[in-house]
Homo-oligomer: A and B are copies of this chain.
Amino acid sequence: MRNVTPDNITEVFQSYFSQDTDPRFREVIGCLAKHLHAFTREVGLTHDEWRKGLEALEWAGRITTPERNEFVLLSDVMGLSSLVDMINSRPGATSSSVLGPFHVSDAPPLEIGGDMRGDFEEEVLLVEGHVRDPEGNPVAGAEIDIWQTAPNGLYSSQDPDQDIMSFHGLMTADENGRYAFTTVRPVSYTVPTDGPVGDILKAAGRHPWRPSHLHFIVKAKGFRDLVTEVFPADDPYLDQDTVFGVREDLVMTYVPQPAGSFPEGFALSGKVDGPYARVDFDFTLVRD
Contacts and interface: CB of A to CB of B under 8 A. Distances in A.
Interface stretch (A29-37, A116-124, A129-137): A29-37
Contact of A239 (B1, B60, B238): B1
Q: Which of A47, A84, A245 has the most C-beta atoms of chain B within 10 angstroms of its own C-beta? A: A84
Contact of A20 (B2, B31, B205): B205
Contact of A61 (B35, B37, B58): B58
Nearest to A249: B3
Interface residues of A, number: 80
A247 B81 CA distance: 38
A11 to B, nearest CB: 10
A259 interface: no
A200 B25 CA distance: 9
A204 B26 contact: yes
Across the A-B interface, the 6 shortest Cβ-Cβ residue pairs: A61-B61, A18-B205, A35-B39, A35-B35, A3-B248, A2-B239
A40 interface: yes
A287 interface: no
Contacts of A244: 4, 9, 12-13
Contacts of A277: none
A65 to B, nearest CB: 10
A205 B21 contact: yes
Contacts of A4: 79, 82, 86, 241, 244-247
B50 A1 contact: no
Given A36-B78, A37-B83, A54-B69, 9 more contacts: A1-B246, A3-B247, A4-B247, A9-B86, A10-B79, A12-B79, A25-B204, A35-B36, A44-B88
A79 B27 CA distance: 16
The A interface is mostly helix, strand or loop, or mixed, namely helix
Interface string A222-251: 000000000001000011111011111001
B205 A82 contact: no
Contact of A31 (B29, B43, B82): B43
A158 interface: no
A70 to B, nearest CB: 9
Nearest to A45: B84
B251 A83 contact: no
A242 to B, nearest CB: 8
Contacts of A17: 204-206
A4 B46 CA distance: 32
